[in-house]
Amino acid sequence: MQMLFLMTKRARPGSSSTAIAYLRVSTDEQRLGPEAQRAAIESWAAREGVSVIAWHIDAGASGAAAIEARPALCAALAALREHGAGVLVVAKRDRVARDVVVAATVERAASHAGARLVSADGTGNGDTPADAFMRTVIDGAAAYERGLIRMRTKAALAAKSAKGERTGEIAYGYRLATDGVRLEEDPAEQGVLVAVRELRAAGLSQRAIVRELEARSLVSRAGGPFGQTQVARMLARAG
């Protein structure tokens, strides 16, 4: 998918007054949830006089995930061409990626679609060498912070394991019982699992299942639409 975006014919520059918004929420960082990201983008749009005509959110997506692993990001890049938008806006640059290579790839894909990548917080949005350098610094810092998060998480899990406590994320479809030790089925999440299996049995693709879940107003634990990666995990467990 990355190469597909970069190999297609370069689009004419889109309208600088029209934007496509992209939001990302990871499972291990909740400081900037979808509501806060949307508010930041809406404030930016009001200040700049820009109309945001489409919103795309990847819920539970790692900042290191490639473009093809993020359905909403793929849709946002495609929407730039579809609507002739000249701006792909994010609340903060680390919402695009916490990986230097992925961030650069997304920026090139947006440019190829006739748009520029803009951060609502205003950092590194210009065209000067200083702005380009700042973007590189931000991307590197985001990758560094992701490494720290992973290191702290690994250390915390090791400490819990040493104490004989339960470690690891609770599998979708289950929740922690009131005793804080046992797991029990979560009726709502079990219902989603059943729906996913039935849709797959009916011949729907993973992407089509994602669309159907959104049409039914079913949301993930993070409160946003399910992503294709999440659906794939549910089907893998079912198999």
**117 and 190 assigned to the same domain:** no
Mean pLDDT of 201-209: 93
Find out whether 108 and 101 touch, Cβ atoms under 8 Å: no
Reading the block at residue 202, the tokens are 């009916």
In which band, very low, low, confident or very high, does the pLDDT at 153 lie, cut at 50, 70 and 90? low
* DSSP secondary structure of 27-50: TTB-TT-HHHHHHHHHHHHHHHT-
Look at residue 70 and give its three-state secondary structure: coil
**pLDDT for the residue 126:** 77
Highest-pLDDT range among 94-98, 133-137, 206-210: 206-210
Q: 10: domain CATH number? A: 3.40.50.1390
Give a yes or no: residue 162 inside a domain.
no
**pLDDT for the residue 3:** 47
Number of domains in the chain: 2
**13 and 99 assigned to the same domain:** yes
Domain of residue 93 covers 2-129
Last residue of a domain, one of 129, 152, 187: 129
Last residue of a domain, one of 74, 101, 129: 129
**13 and 106 assigned to the same domain:** yes
The answer for residues whose C-beta is within 8 angstroms of residue 232's C-beta and 6 or more apart is 206
Give a yes or no: residue 69 inside a domain.
yes
Q: Which of 34, 77, 79, 23 is nearest to 53 (CA)?
A: 79
Give a yes or no: residue 149 inside a domain.
no
Min mean pLDDT across 1-10, 26-35, 122-131, 180-189 is at 1-10
Bridge partners, residue 56, by sequence: 22
**pLDDT for the residue 100:** 85
Give a yes or no: residue 14 inside a domain.
yes
What is each CA distance from 145 to 46, 94, 235, in whole angstroms? 30, 10, 32
Reading the block at residue 149, the tokens are 């998060």
Give a yes or no: residue 18 inside a domain.
yes
**10 and 108 assigned to the same domain:** yes
**110 and 220 assigned to the same domain:** no
Q: What is the pLDDT of residues 112-135, one digit of tens each?
A: 999 999 999 988 787 888 777 777
- 180 vs 166: CA distance, rounded Å: 9
Give a yes or no: residue 59 inside a domain.
yes
**19 and 108 assigned to the same domain:** yes
Phi, psi of 129 (to 5 degrees): -60, -35
**pLDDT for the residue 69:** 84
**pLDDT for the residue 80:** 96
- 221 vs 11: CA distance, rounded Å: 37
**211 and 97 assigned to the same domain:** no
**114 and 186 assigned to the same domain:** no
Number of Cβ within a 10 Å radius of residue 167: 13
Looking at residue 20, the DSSP 8-state letter turns out to be: E
Per the listing, tokens 């919402």 go with: 95
In which band, very low, low, confident or very high, does the pLDDT at 204 lie, cut at 50, 70 and 90? very high
- 222 vs 69: CA distance, rounded Å: 18
**118 and 234 assigned to the same domain:** no
